[in-house]
Chain A
Amino acid sequence: MILIFNNVMAIFRKELQGYFKSSLAYVIAGVFWLLACSLFVSEVQLWTAQKTAGQVVDVPQESLKSFLSGMWWLVMFLMPSLSMGLYAEERRHRTLELLATSPITNWAVALGKLLAVWTLFVTLMLPVGVLEILFLSHADPPITAGVFVVGHLGLFLLAAAILSLGLFISSLADSSILAIILTYALILILSLLFLLGERWGEPWVAIFDQLSLVKHYVTLTQGVLDMSSVILFVSYIVLGLFLTAQSIDLLRFQRR
């Protein structure tokens, strides 16, 4: 058990160090910060303007809510670019076989990689979170932390789910570019599933609503901690990890 944990940590550390040395990670960080911070600042400005125009609004809460729903797009478009190289790069460097046949279980490798890339996302969110808190602490009357915490939990879960699915696709694709495109497609499908449900009527509505990433993310950003939402995100994370491990497992018998 401890051995597996150590293995996971080793992979995790190696991957994280890789990010600190890669300029691509910094470019992504720069773009992410630029977009996320301007999104937040502009939402605050927008709602403050509404308030000054005489509307009855809860400026901090509304800003937070719109910011988080805007983050949906940012996460959806930036996460695949983080996950695309996770296995595709190994393949390109011809280290994938090494990894697949190494004594470390495929599970541990996949988990370590996912943890590392998710940690990167959390790190990216940290300065943005600080900015949010600095803004929101000026709320008058003060706001409670509940909605903030649940909303950001939703954001982190969403990111982890997308990264996990992206991890799987990266393990299949030969090149990073293909991996990113396929991940976009998959995420798009998962996001728009509910439209299909609306067309097809009853049993499908419930099924596709449950599978849809958007609906659950929206629920969480509104400050409602719905167990089914959390379970769904965790399901996608587990599924992504499992499929990755399976696909790497099959790789061992690859004969070209």
Chain B
Amino acid sequence: MGSKVINFLSWFSVALMVAGFSAGFVSGQWFSLPLGVMLSGVVLLGISLVWRWQRLSPSNPWWQWRSTQSGTNALVATLAVLVILGLVNFIVVRYPYRADFTEQKTYSLAPQTLNVLSALPNPVEVLVFIGNDPSASDSQSQIVLQNQLLLKEYQRQQPNKFKFRFIDPQAEPGLARKHNIRNLGDISLVYDQRMKLLSSGLSEVTLTPAIALLTNERKATAYMIQGHNEVPLSGFTESLAGAVNQLKMEGITVEPLNLSLQQQIPDDADVLVIAGPKLPLLEAEVTLIRDFLKKGGNLFLMLDPEVDVGLKPILEAMSAKLDGRLIVDPKHARLAWPAALTYGEHPITESFSQKLSFFPFAQAVDVQEQPGQQVTPLLQTSEASWAETDLTGQQIQLDQGRDRKGPLTIGVAIKRSISAPPPAPKEKPSPPPKPSLSPPSPNSSPSPTASPTGEAVPSASPTAPNSESVPSPSLAPTPPLSTESVPPPTGESLQPEIQGEAARVVIIGDSDFAKDDPYFEQTVNRDIFVNAVSWLIMDGDDPTLSIRPKRVIQRTLDISDQMRMLLSVFGIVLLPLTALATAAALWWQRR
């Protein structure tokens, strides 16, 4: 009787669990009903197991068991073992030790991140706005999983001050609105009263600098130059209001600045933004900006084609040239709205690779590498685009020889060491040896490795005959970073890091892209603007900027088809057949 009941109970509990599981699986929601059914199954199973166990000992009242003592002993021992195992597990969870055996330490955080996390003054919360939709595409659930892994790793380092949540924007539209969420997958960082929106996707390269910037107590100020018909800062449309708002939420103060009235650049200016002036700047203004740049100020230039605003002296100081011609992209519905197809490996454009951005009426920007100046192309148009010389012609088409063929660089980030020439004989303790620098040989194949490391330009180098007079202009034959030379994937290792204090400049050959325009809702246009400003106001030597993304090693299985076939047949046919044949033989023998 009893055993029948137990059997029934076991089967019934299993059925309940399966029912609950499949209900939850099918509906995709683990709300109370499927969970309740499953839980009751679990409880019943537990009861049946205990009962089963008890039945092994005498079936009559337990106080009559000869084994009561033994049973109690067993119970106590079991409890003791459970407690011990629980404690051991608790200890390992509390004091984790893990070794990452992946080649690139894919699942470990960079030391810079660990520093930022251990120095967190107040709690940071990361809100990931992504639907918890079971019908979502596989790639999306993959993203959720990856984000979870990364955020967990952050949390493991700083369990009390790092929190994260996944939020379905459809379920909580108010919250999504408060955080200015535009696309699924947007991420909002919350710290005190500040908020930062990350729409570039989550990775250590984007998250750590964002946290560093957000938790920085230093008040950062961006000044927007006014007075030459720049893109307005406020207004319903055609203004930078949305972008400015986002900067303010991040704790960045944005102020207009009219240089012809104020005659000076305020001392607290972390970055100057010149957003699409239509009228030329006065010479005095240009001088002010130039001095600002020389002293290590950061500059953000958004310059439209076909307008000369008198910034040539500043651009020339950086060996930068604006193409001046309008870029057209026949692949796009709006001919003069080229899309950025390739994004540079840079904090500003990190992990934008699958995202869209448009640059209405843009021009190409060419900046040459020079000593003490590190140039990273940020945005490149498609192969099919070109810079049109003659817009008055009947047909807009690529004229060989006259027009410039794409891909064209329309945005660059420049890092310049401040203590560039004239020679500042600041003796470095250990100057890197650079024998290739002297004598300069214009014929030898110029490679970026030849350009010196940051400030070390004028410093002594052991092989240089006269260390103080290594003239930097003679180092000209560094390769022009033209649009034709797309940087190799491993470009970061080739380009020397500019060490120490550095001034940073971002030049984009377009000013319309950051405007409020419904057309840009699904693009990363505004993020490029915000990221650029964020990058420009960061401390130049902020270590979080040097976190390198973990790249996938491109590996193949270089295996011949015959070999593959042979191995497959061995594994899928031969092995199982042998086993089954043996089984059959044994069975036959037994009969």
Beyond A37-B571, A181-B10, A222-B102, is A139–B30 a contact (Cβ under 8 Å)?
no
B85-124 at interface with A (beta carbon < 8 Å): 85, 88-89, 92-93, 96-103, 106-107
Closest to A24 in B: B583
Give the secondary structure class of B's interface: helix
Beyond A26-B579, A26-B582, A141-B553, is A131–B571 a contact (Cβ under 8 Å)?
yes
Check: A15 CB closer than 8 A to any chain B CB: no
Check: B562 CB closer than 8 A to any chain A CB: no
Question: Which one of A2-10, A70-78, A112-120, A193-201 is at the interface?
Answer: A193-201
Beyond A27-B580, A56-B552, A138-B558, is A242–B78 a contact (Cβ under 8 Å)?
yes
In whole angstroms, what is the CA distance A182 to B35 when docked?
A: 19
Chain B residues with Cβ below 8 Å from A227 are 92, 96-98
Question: Which one of B55-63, B225-233, B292-300, B428-436 is at the interface?
Answer: B55-63
Check: B575 CB closer than 8 A to any chain A CB: yes
Q: Are A223 and B100 in contact (CB under 8 A)?
A: yes
Chain B residues with Cβ below 8 Å from A250 are 53, 56-57, 67, 70-71, 74
Check: B519 CB closer than 8 A to any chain A CB: no
Check: B171 CB closer than 8 A to any chain A CB: no
Beyond A146-B101, A223-B107, A246-B74, is A235–B85 a contact (Cβ under 8 Å)?
yes
Question: Beta-carbon contacts of A224-256 to B below 8 Å, as 1s and 0s?
Answer: 111110011001001100110011011111111
Q: Are A59 and B93 in contact (CB under 8 A)?
A: no
Q: Are A254 and B56 in contact (CB under 8 A)?
A: yes
Closest-CB distance, A54 to chain B (whole angstroms) = 11
- Which of B14, B103, B553, B571 contacts A41, CB < 8 Å? B571
Interface centre among B89, B102, B555 (most CB of A within 10 A): B555
A29-48 at interface with B (beta carbon < 8 Å): 29-31, 33-34, 36-38, 40-41, 44, 48
Q: Are B35 and A199 in contact (CB under 8 A)?
A: yes
Interface centre among A26, A136, A181, A225 (most CB of B within 10 A): A26
Chain B residues with Cβ below 8 Å from A255 are 58-59, 66
A93-133 at interface with B (beta carbon < 8 Å): 127-128, 131
Q: Are A249 and B557 in contact (CB under 8 A)?
A: no
Beyond A30-B576, A30-B577, A30-B583, is A225–B74 a contact (Cβ under 8 Å)?
no
Q: Are A178 and B7 in contact (CB under 8 A)?
A: yes
Question: Beta-carbon contacts of B549-591 to A below 8 Å, as 1s and 0s?
Answer: 0001111111100011001101110011111101110110010
Chain A residues with Cβ below 8 Å from B587 are 23
Beyond A33-B575, A172-B56, A254-B56, is A228–B93 a contact (Cβ under 8 Å)?
yes
Check: A51 CB closer than 8 A to any chain B CB: yes
- Which of A23, A134, A184, A247 contacts B590, CB < 8 Å? A23
Check: A63 CB closer than 8 A to any chain B CB: yes
Interface centre among A34, A185, A225, A249 (most CB of B within 10 A): A185
Chain B residues with Cβ below 8 Å from A134 are 567
- Which of B10, B42, B97, B107 contacts A178, CB < 8 Å? B10
Check: B3 CB closer than 8 A to any chain A CB: yes
Q: Are A60 and B101 in contact (CB under 8 A)?
A: no
In whole angstroms, what is the CA distance A175 to B486 when docked?
A: 69
In whole angstroms, what is the CA distance A171 to B278 when docked?
A: 86
Closest to A174 in B: B3
In whole angstroms, what is the CA distance A250 to B70 when docked?
A: 7
Chain A residues with Cβ below 8 Å from B21 are 188, 192
Q: Are A140 and B85 in contact (CB under 8 A)?
A: no
Closest to B77 in A: A246
Give the secondary structure class of A's interface: helix
Chain B residues with Cβ below 8 Å from A249 are 70, 74
- Which of B17, B96, B107, B553 contacts A189, CB < 8 Å? B17
Closest-CB distance, B147 to chain A (whole angstroms) = 15
Q: Are A210 and B89 in contact (CB under 8 A)?
A: yes
Chain B residues with Cβ below 8 Å from A136 are 557
Closest-CB distance, A231 to chain B (whole angstroms) = 5
Closest-CB distance, A115 to chain B (whole angstroms) = 20
Q: Are A34 and B572 in contact (CB under 8 A)?
A: yes
In whole angstroms, what is the CA distance A150 to B406 when docked?
A: 48
Q: Are B98 and A58 in contact (CB under 8 A)?
A: no
In whole angstroms, what is the CA distance A189 to B13 when docked?
A: 12
Q: Are B555 and A60 in contact (CB under 8 A)?
A: yes
Question: Beta-carbon contacts of B76-88 to A below 8 Å, as 1s and 0s?
Answer: 0110011001001
Q: Are B555 and A61 in contact (CB under 8 A)?
A: yes
Q: Are A59 and B571 in contact (CB under 8 A)?
A: no
In whole angstroms, what is the CA distance A239 to B572 when docked?
A: 36
B1-37 at interface with A (beta carbon < 8 Å): 3, 7, 10-11, 13-14, 17, 21, 24, 30, 35
Q: Are B10 and A182 in contact (CB under 8 A)?
A: yes
- Which of A24, A56, A256 contacts B554, CB < 8 Å? A56
Chain B residues with Cβ below 8 Å from A169 are 49
Beyond A58-B554, A174-B3, is A27–B583 a contact (Cβ under 8 Å)?
yes
In whole angstroms, what is the CA distance A223 to B105 when docked?
A: 9
In whole angstroms, what is the CA distance A12 to B98 when docked?
A: 33
Q: Are B570 and A131 in contact (CB under 8 A)?
A: yes
Check: B52 CB closer than 8 A to any chain A CB: yes
- Which of B24, B93, B571 contacts A128, CB < 8 Å? B571
Chain A residues with Cβ below 8 Å from B56 are 172, 247, 250-251, 254
Closest-CB distance, A170 to chain B (whole angstroms) = 12
A-B contact pairs, 5 of them (CB 8 A): A37-B572, A135-B567, A174-B3, A247-B56, A254-B57
Task: List residues of chain A with CB under 8 Å of any chain B CB.
Answer: 21-27, 29-31, 33-34, 36-38, 40-41, 44, 48, 51, 56-61, 63, 127-128, 131, 134-136, 138-141, 143-144, 146-147, 149-150, 169, 172-174, 178, 181-182, 184-186, 188-189, 192, 195-196, 198-199, 206, 210, 222-228, 231-232, 235, 238-239, 242-243, 246-247, 249-256
Given contacts A41-B567, A227-B98, 12 further A-B contacts (CB under 8 A): A131-B571, A139-B557, A140-B555, A173-B52, A178-B7, A185-B13, A185-B45, A226-B97, A227-B92, A232-B89, A250-B56, A250-B70
Task: List residues of chain B with CB under 8 Å of any chain A CB.
Answer: 3, 7, 10-11, 13-14, 17, 21, 24, 30, 35, 38, 41-42, 45, 49, 52-53, 56-59, 65-67, 70-71, 74, 77-78, 81-82, 85, 88-89, 92-93, 96-103, 106-107, 552-559, 563-564, 567-568, 570-572, 575-580, 582-584, 586-587, 590
**The 5 nearest A-B residue pairs measured at CB:** A37-B571, A146-B101, A253-B67, A30-B579, A26-B583
